[in-house]
A and B are shown apart, each in its own frame.
Chain A
Amino acid sequence: MRNVWMMTLFTLRESISKKVFIAFSIFVLAMLVGVFFAASLGFGDMAKQSPLGVNKTMIMFKMGTANFVLSFGFLLSIFACASFIPSLLEKGTIDLFLSKPVSRAQLLGGKYLGGLLIFFLHIFVLIAGIWIIAGIKFDHWDLSFLPLLLSSLFYFAILNAVLLLSGVVTKSSGISMMLAYLLMFVSPLLAAREKLFLFMQGKDTLKAVIDGIYYVLPKLHEIQNIPQALAMDQGRIEPQILLSSFLFFLVILYAGFYLFEKNDY
């Protein structure tokens, strides 16, 4: 465990040295300042007049703001973490690491957790910041907003696993980034596939393929919306969303560790 923690801290240090960590921190702080000003624009009075009621309007405000900011946060996180595995696998670096009494799983695990830690630190500040700003400005301290932290962490854990596998296979941060972005952008389209199918009359094979892709890939879009659905009582959460996403996460992560264990460097 000590070795994993050392690699996690090493990854954190790497991120700070590349200025990505600082850029991410500046982004989070700028977003919080933006949210603070947005919350000062008389939204409290608007919420009182809303037909949804103050509580639900407040939750919608917080969720909407957080999801909007988070989508940029995910993009930035992918950019921040995509180089961690390729940099470890560089010739002259990997030899040094693998010659130490540290298992390959510990090396890779530490790097993976380092990416998660960087994401968590920023997203925690962002979500907690929005919650505190809304609490102070509107005296609304509803805890139903906080599960967003967990769903965001799961969302990024999946993307980070994709970065890990792609990094191990391609050793390219560019390709890793592209794959993660692709997954992010495809997810809302697949979630809305029923609407897309209206334009695909008679193309049953294509529909089946799209359906298949939907069930194989993680349901990132749905995962991001789970806290809002829970807080707003918008129907029940389909277990397959979490299960299939978790299965995808496990398979991708396992494949990354397996290949790293088996590869020559």
Chain B
Amino acid sequence: MNIIEIENLSKTFTTTFGKRTVKALTDVNLSVEQGSIFGLLGQNGAGKTTLIKILLGIVYPSAGACKMFGEEFSHLHLKKRIGFLPENHKFPNYMTGREVLTFFGKLSGLENLHLAKRIDEMLELVEMTKWSKSKIKTYSKGMMQRLGLAQAMLNNPDLLFLDEPTDGVDPIGRKEIRNVLLALKEGGKTIFLNSHLLSEVELITDRVAILHKGKIIREGNVHDLTNRKEEYRIVVDALLESTLDVSLKEKYELRKVSDSTYLIRVDEQRPVNDFVDHLRGKGISIKEMAQEKNSLEDVFISLVKAEEKN
């Protein structure tokens, strides 16, 4: 079941006197499956935050339709099932962490009795319990992010929007946040993630969409996007360049990476099984074999560059 469905969504910002217009989003179509982690990637100004803000009713769309939980997205009551961590959020700096959570918890509709218990749980989860009575103005960026995450999760939302959640967080903290997000996913929650940190997105997301100048240029399963299906890396105990026939080497476009590591290209006309059979026929032992993968960063950069050329 799709928890978010976006159809032909467009947003054009107009300056006060209508002299200049900026197309932030153009005909965006997207769906996010319940219980998944979805990553929205894009350069600065690609329209990622605008998309999240539209879904949250902070920005109004110029055209198109959005549904969340199967309902028209603008229904206020849906926000009870949503959590949001904005980028560069600002909490009132005169409040303590606990006071911030109490205030926003009440604003989310949580009742006092349940709220106190929930705040304790969330503070513990983001490891902020010992700082909960300190004023926000004394917090570091990383602590602010942790508190922001606690705030977003306070109402036990079914759908969590996170805009750069690990921004300013140290590597250990990032891993902890990743673990929290994975645990939430295990619990059936859906997470919509905006991030520049592609290596992190790659680690936790199920699907991603790449947004470029307001348009979705690629959407898909992370595994499918990063697999370079036509290339295999093979580690063997022999020197293939002298062992194999020239025709076979040419057919599979054999390339040496290091002493015992080679790359081959495969497709329907040159199946990987035939190559393996050939090696085994020659008595060569295969130590390791894996499909070559692109990092999400590689995919992202190549797609964006290709789009720029077009």
Q: What chain A residues lie within 8 Å of B84 (beta carbons)?
A: 95-96, 99
Question: Using a CB-CB cutoff of 8 Å, which residues 62-114 of chain A contact chain B?
Answer: 90-103
Flag A13-34 by CB within 8 Å of B: 1 or 0 each: 1100110000000000000000
Interface-located stretch among B103-111, B178-186, B255-263, B302-310? B103-111
A98 touches B56 (CB 8 A): yes
**A94 to B88 alpha-carbon distance, docked (Å):** 11
B19 is an interface residue with CB less than 8 A from chain A: no
Known: A99-B82, A100-B79, A101-B80. A93 touches B107 (CB 8 A): no
**A265 to B77 alpha-carbon distance, docked (Å):** 20
A6 touches B107 (CB 8 A): yes
Contact partner, A100, options B88, B107, B161, Cβ 8 Å: B107
Range, interface on chain A: 20 to 34
Contact partner, B86, options A18, A92, A102, A262, Cβ 8 Å: A92
Q: What chain B residues lie within 8 Å of A185 (beta carbons)?
A: none
A144 is an interface residue with CB less than 8 A from chain B: no
A99 touches B103 (CB 8 A): no
A103 touches B76 (CB 8 A): yes
Contact partner, B106, options A6, A90, A96, Cβ 8 Å: A6
B69 is an interface residue with CB less than 8 A from chain A: no
Most buried by B among A95, A99, A103: A99
Q: What chain B residues lie within 8 Å of A265 (beta carbons)?
A: 53, 58-59
Known: A14-B92, A264-B13. A100 touches B86 (CB 8 A): no
**A73 to B92 alpha-carbon distance, docked (Å):** 27
B60 is an interface residue with CB less than 8 A from chain A: yes
Contact partner, A95, options B13, B53, B94, B106, Cβ 8 Å: B53
A3 is an interface residue with CB less than 8 A from chain B: yes
Nearest CB of B to A5, in Å: 10
Chain B minimum-CB-distance residue to A3: B107
A254 is an interface residue with CB less than 8 A from chain B: no
Contact partner, A99, options B86, B87, B95, B106, Cβ 8 Å: B86
**A10 to B90 alpha-carbon distance, docked (Å):** 15
Nearest CB of A to B118, in Å: 15
Most buried by B among A6, A13, A17, A96: A96
Contact partner, B76, options A94, A95, A101, A262, Cβ 8 Å: A101
Most buried by A among B77, B86, B88, B151: B86
**A98 to B151 alpha-carbon distance, docked (Å):** 14
A101 touches B106 (CB 8 A): no
**A98 to B58 alpha-carbon distance, docked (Å):** 6
**A17 to B58 alpha-carbon distance, docked (Å):** 27
Q: What chain B residues lie within 8 Å of A262 (beta carbons)?
A: 60
Chain A minimum-CB-distance residue to B80: A101
B77 touches A101 (CB 8 A): yes
B57 is an interface residue with CB less than 8 A from chain A: yes
Contact partner, B108, options A14, A90, A93, A100, Cβ 8 Å: A100
Question: Using a CB-CB cutoff of 8 Å, which residues 68-101 of chain B contact chain A?
Answer: 76-77, 79-80, 82, 84, 86-92, 94-95
Interface residues of B (CB under 8 A from A): 13, 53, 56-60, 76-77, 79-80, 82, 84, 86-92, 94-95, 103-104, 106-109, 151, 161
Given pairs A14-B92, A101-B107, 4 additional interface contacts (CB within 8 A): A13-B94, A90-B90, A95-B58, A100-B79
